């Protein structure tokens, strides 16, 4: 059976899987987006408790998708894992810190005799939802803009900047990508709370914040999309593996695979419809449309980097050190065995779906939170 599947097919399969899981994680950041809206939406302590406990039921699912994303990258493309996580060390450690404080904040926010006070942990949740997501956007942006690394013939890499990844904060494209994810997470957070909470005052405020953040998100999204499609990209020769520049590389990819362009446009349309149905039709289930649209859109934006001899992580220090799915993947045997293991992924996704449904069968109210002595 192993001989019937080519190495290239396994590489493409795993890049698709990584893209889907990454897009799922982008959707799940509605938890972080909701955290940044805590004081925008919650005008009383009871309302803020309601918001925190609604989001608190989902933050572990966000972590599940994040762990799956990192695990899939490590299993299938270990060289990228080593180059990016090991080289852009300060950037990734900053992201990790922002997510550590989230877990601590949910657990200690309402602990008896809280030394720092409730407000302190609520500020940490805001940092996680704003700075953490912004830095994640910066890191994802480097897949398109590149990083300062060199890989030698033995696949050992080193970073050429002493800022170890923080220099990515100076690239306009990365900055736009980071802010785009922040406002997307706030949009999704508004839609999730609109769907999950039973509180008239909060319903009106969530729709207002949805409108505000949508107006901030789409100009950034259009800028990022335009930059991706029309900027200079990078390709490698199929036979020699020599890397060279190619004008409008990603646009050419979509033109060569129009079915992928159709799915991308469909994802954007579904995302727009979700927002429209919430703002103009008062559809409480709009989060499912916007979520599906987000997953389709970001799956395609990531997947398009791994096909048609495209470089998905350009090196700004040495062009020939750039990474593709061909030169950064694990061995044939590793990818094949892990492909069998990947059959468990639908089980994890199913777990997320059924746990979500179980927790959201009933809309959450302030009275429910007050009657629960173990709330966040």
Torsion of CA 288, 294, 299, 302, to 10 degrees: -160
Range of weakest confidence among 193-197, 261-265, 309-313: 193-197
How many Å apart are CA 269 and CA 113, to the nearest integer? 49
Q: Alpha-carbon distance 234 to 243, whole Å? A: 7
Domain range for 296 is 2-371
Residue 224 lies in a domain: yes
Q: Residue 194, exposed/middle/buried by CB under 10 A (0-12, 13-18, 19+)?
A: buried
pTM metric for this prediction: 0.92
Q: Does residue 376 belong to any structural domain of this protein?
A: no
Tokens 């997953």 locate to 295
* Banded model confidence at residue 277, pLDDT cuts 50, 70, 90: very high
Contact status, residue 54 vs residue 197, Cβ threshold 8 Å: yes
> Is the model's pLDDT at 372 over the cut of 70?
no
Q: How many structural domains are present in the chain? A: 1
For residue 175, tell me if it sits in a domain: yes
pLDDT single digits (tens) 120-175? 999 999 999 999 999 999 999 999 999 999 998 887 889 999 999 999 999 999 99
Q: Is residue 73 part of a domain?
A: yes
């Amino acid at each position: 059976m192993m001989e019937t599947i080519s190495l290239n097919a396994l590489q493409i399969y795993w890049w698709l899987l990584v893209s889907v899981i990454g897009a799922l994680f982008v959707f799940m950041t509605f938890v972080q987006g909701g955290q940044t809206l805590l004081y925008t939406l919650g005008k009383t302590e009871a309302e803020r408790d309601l918001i925190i406990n609604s989001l608190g039921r989902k933050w572990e699912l966000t972590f599940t998708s994040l762990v799956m994303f990192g695990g899939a990258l490590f299993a299938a493309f270990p060289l990228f894992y080593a180059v990016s996580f090991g080289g852009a060390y300060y950037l990734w450690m900053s992201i990790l810190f922002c997510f550590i404080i989230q877990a601590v904040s949910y657990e200690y926010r309402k602990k008896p005799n809280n030394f720092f006070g409730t407000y302190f942990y609520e500020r940490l949740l805001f940092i996680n939802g704003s700075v953490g997501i912004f830095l994640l956007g910066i890191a994802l942006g480097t897949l398109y803009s590149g990083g300062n690394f060199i890989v030698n013939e033995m696949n050992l890499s080193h970073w050429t900047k002493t800022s170890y990844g923080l220099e990515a904060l100076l690239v306009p494209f990365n900055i736009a990508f980071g802010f785009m994810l922040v406002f997307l997470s706030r949009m999704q957070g508004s839609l999730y709370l609109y769907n999950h909470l039973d509180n008239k005052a909060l319903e009106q405020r969530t729709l207002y914040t949805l409108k505000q953040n949508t107006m901030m998100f789409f100009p950034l999204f259009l800028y990022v999309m335009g930059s991706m499609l029309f900027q200079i990209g990078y390709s490698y020769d199929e036979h020699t593996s020599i890397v060279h520049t190619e004008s409008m590389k990603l646009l050419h990819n979509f033109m060569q695979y129009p079915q992928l362009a159709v799915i991308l446009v469909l994802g954007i349309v579904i995302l727009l419809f979700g927002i429209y149905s919430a703002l103009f039709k008062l559809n409480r289930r709009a989060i499912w449309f916007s979520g599906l649209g987000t997953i389709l859109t970001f799956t395609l934006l990531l997947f398009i980097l791994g096909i048609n001899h495209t470089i998905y992580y350009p090196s700004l220090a040495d062009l020939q050190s750039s990474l593709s799915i061909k030169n950064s993947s694990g061995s044939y045997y590793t990818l094949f065995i892990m492909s069998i293991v990947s059959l468990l992924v639908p089980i994890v996704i199913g777990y997320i779906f059924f746990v979500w449904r179980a927790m959201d069968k009933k809309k959450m109210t302030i009275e429910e939170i007050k009657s629960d002595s173990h709330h966040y």
